[in-house]
């Protein structure tokens, strides 16, 4: 329970889903955590950590606004004495809009939050971490960033951008001791995907969700949090610039029809 003992972590998008689960796990593993989200429910994440005996501070802010990101890094340093881990996780789906109905406004919104917001968190976290000569930055990309079929066009482009961001940033940070990696979740039950699950439950077709991956089930936010914990911790000390798929095996195959025995 002490994987992150003595470390400080910042988690964006921590009011819900993957960010919330990761903040809770980081705190349970000993980290002092700053949680940022534009949703006021982020206060509940911090309160839950404190109620369990951990240390957490909540900030309601916009992860795509540079002053909010810089402010959250500054808060971690002021209150907890440094920043060892930054999980740039906040994101939006942008919906599934047909190609010819896509707009500049929608692309701008999705890229601004999913890609530029992730860049801002990486930049400001790295600025602090380089001075300490250590640190781990984690970004939530998606299997949608690997190939088509897991999200809308701007969403998929934004997540491919996040994968490129960690590759280029890892090299920009060469020699600093700061690592940066991405996680590519498959289908995870969170606030973002709740409508998919609710529609399937209403139709009685819940068992069909996640059947395209070899584990034949959707994932839970806690399963992504465990990978984030690994990347945050010294256990991943030689993992850098990578996009780690946590998707039940979904991204390993081209789509084919498999005749299952069971």
Query: Does 59 contact ligand NAD by CB under 6 A?
Result: no
Q: Which of these segments, 23-31, 35-43, 69-77, 206-214, binds ligand NAD (CB under 6 A)?
A: 35-43
Q: How far is the CB of 204 from ligand NAD (least distance, A)?
A: 21
| Conformational region of residue 260, where left means phi above 0, alpha means psi within -120 to 50, and beta covers everything else | beta
Contacts of 75 (CB under 8 A, 6+ apart): 34, 57, 59
- What tokens appear for 15 in the block? 């009011």
Using the rule CB under 6 A, which residue among 23, 25, 37, 243 binds ligand NAD? Answer: 37
Using the rule CB under 6 A, which residue among 22, 62, 137, 228 binds ligand NAD? Answer: 62
Least Cα distance to 163 among 145, 144, 187, 149 occurs for 145
Query: Does 22 contact ligand NAD by CB under 6 A?
Result: no
- Spatial distance between the Cα atoms of 41 and 94, rounded to a whole number of angstroms: 21
Using alpha carbons only, give the angle 64, 69, 71 rounded to the nearest 5 degrees: 145
Active-site position among 80, 87, 155, 238? 155
Q: Which of these segments, 85-93, 167-175, 206-214, 237-245, binds ligand NAD (CB under 6 A)?
A: 85-93
Query: Does 15 contact ligand NAD by CB under 6 A?
Result: yes
Task: Please report how the helices 221-232 and 17-28 are oriented relative to each other, as an axis angle in degrees rounded to 10.
Answer: 50
Distance from the Cα of residue 239 to its chain's centroid: 17
155 annotated active-site: yes
Query: Does 113 contact ligand NAD by CB under 6 A?
Result: yes
Query: Does 56 contact ligand NAD by CB under 6 A?
Result: no
Query: Does 89 contact ligand NAD by CB under 6 A?
Result: yes
- What tokens appear for 155 in the block? 């969403």
Backbone phi and psi for residue 181, each to the nearest 5 degrees, phi listed first:
-140, 160
Query: Does 240 contact ligand NAD by CB under 6 A?
Result: no
Active-site positions read 155
Interface positions with ligand NAD (CB under 6 A): 13, 15-19, 37-39, 62-64, 89-92, 113, 117, 140, 142, 185, 187-188, 190-193
């Amino acid at each position: 329970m002490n994987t992150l003992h003595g470390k400080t972590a910042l988690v964006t998008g921590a009011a819900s889903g993957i960010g919330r689960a990761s903040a809770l796990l980081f705190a349970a593993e000993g980290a002092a955590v700053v949680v940022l989200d534009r949703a006021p429910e982020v206060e509940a994440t911090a309160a839950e950590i404190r109620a369990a005996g951990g240390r957490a501070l909540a900030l309601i802010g916009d992860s795509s606004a540079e002053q909010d990101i810089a402010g959250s890094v500054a808060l971690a340093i002021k209150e907890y004495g440094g920043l060892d881990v930054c999980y740039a996780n906040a994101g939006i789906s942008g919906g599934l809009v047909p190609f010819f109905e896509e707009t500049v406004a929608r692309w701008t919104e999705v890229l601004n939050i999913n890609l530029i917001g992730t860049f801002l968190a990486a930049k400001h976290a790295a600025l602090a971490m380089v001075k300490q000569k250590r640190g781990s930055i984690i970004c939530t990309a998606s299997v949608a960033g690997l190939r088509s079929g897991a999200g809308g066009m701007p969403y998929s482009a934004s997540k491919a951008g996040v994968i490129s961001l960690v590759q280029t940033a890892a090299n920009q940070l060469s020699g600093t001791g700061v690592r940066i990696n991405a996680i590519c979740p498959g289908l995870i039950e969170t606030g973002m995907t709740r409508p998919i699950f609710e529609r399937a439950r209403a139709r009685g077709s819940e068992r069909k969700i996640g059947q395209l991956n070899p584990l034949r089930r959707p994932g839970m936010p806690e399963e992504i949090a465990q990978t984030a914990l690994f990347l945050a911790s010294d256990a991943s000390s030689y993992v850098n610039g990578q996009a780690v798929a946590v998707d039940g095996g979904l991204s390993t195959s081209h789509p084919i029809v498999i005749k299952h025995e069971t």
